[in-house]
Amino acid sequence: MYLKLLSYEKDHLPKGWKPYYIYDMVVDHHEVGRIVLREGNCEERYYDGHIGYSVEQQYRGHHYSREACLLLFEIAREKGFQELIITCSPQNIASRKIIESLPFIFIEEKAVPDFLQKDFEEDEKVKRIYKMKL
């Protein structure tokens, strides 16, 4: 697997959003998913995390998101990140297993504040929050 930079989003972002990088996850010349690295400090990224990922349905079950996170850690170091936050909804067991297989430490499970709820899906009311030092 390798990560291919798709875009760096910095212009015309919603108010309060920080720039972010979008990478394609590429395995055997197939784009199997995407992973995002969001800028901002740990406080700013507390509920949505520095990292977000999705794997296309037909490629799930191969631990590609875990492998992509490991590759993204090096990119984050090169960009000057010293710590990373990652989150998931409590009901997202697959993401939880991936996150807990990585060197993240569980911080807490916490409700998303009302003023941030507009940036989340309707069913994302609570987040499990994890942190790691790079």
pTM (2 decimals)?
A: 0.93
Q: Using DSSP, state whether 59 is helix, strand or coil.
A: helix
Per the CB < 8 A criterion, the answer to whether 5 and 25 are in contact is: no
In degrees, rounded to 5, the angle at the alpha carbon of residue 96 between the alpha carbons of residues 92 and 102 is 155
Q: Report pLDDT digits (tens) over 90-117.
A: 999 999 999 999 999 999 999 998 888 7
The whole-number pLDDT of residue 20 equals 98
Q: Report pLDDT digits (tens) over 24-61.
A: 999 999 999 999 999 999 999 999 999 999 999 999 99
Could you give the domains of the chain? 2-133 (3.40.630.30)
DSSP string, 70-122: HHHHHHHHHTT--EEEEEE-TT-HHHHHHHHTTT-EEEEEEEPPGGGGGGS-T
